[in-house]
Amino acid sequence: MSVMSGIAAQMAPVLFKAACPDCRAGFELSAGALRLAIGASARTTFYSFTCPECGSAVRKPAGERIVELLTGGGVRTLRLHSSL
């Protein structure tokens, strides 16, 4: 029975706390509601989501720790390539 409990715990959906800079609402989002873009620099690495309260498109910078948390939580990742 403890094995089943462990499996259920591993399958629990991951929720991320976020806030909207426009309406200032705070909320939790599932991994499916977030997108992560990893660019060649800190300036081009960000995550984005749509505010569930006001509908604004939100884009925030993502440092190394945020990238680690989001990818570990199953957020879809897009790797941006610079043109030569």
Looking at the predicted structure, is the pLDDT value of residue 63 above 80? yes
Distances (CA, A) of 39 to 11, 17, 34, 74, 77: 30, 23, 16, 18, 11
pLDDT attached to residue 42: 86
Each residue of 8-48: pLDDT tens digit?
Answer: 555 678 899 999 999 999 999 999 999 999 999 888 999 99
- What is the torsional sign of CA 50, 51, 56, 61? negative
Distances (CA, A) of 81 to 16, 48, 49, 84: 27, 18, 21, 9
Q: Are 45 and 78 in contact, with CB atoms under 8 Å apart?
A: no
Q: Share the mean pLDDT of the chain.
A: 88
Q: Specify the range with the lowest mean pLDDT, choosing from 2-6, 15-19, 47-51.
A: 2-6
Eight-class DSSP state of 14: P
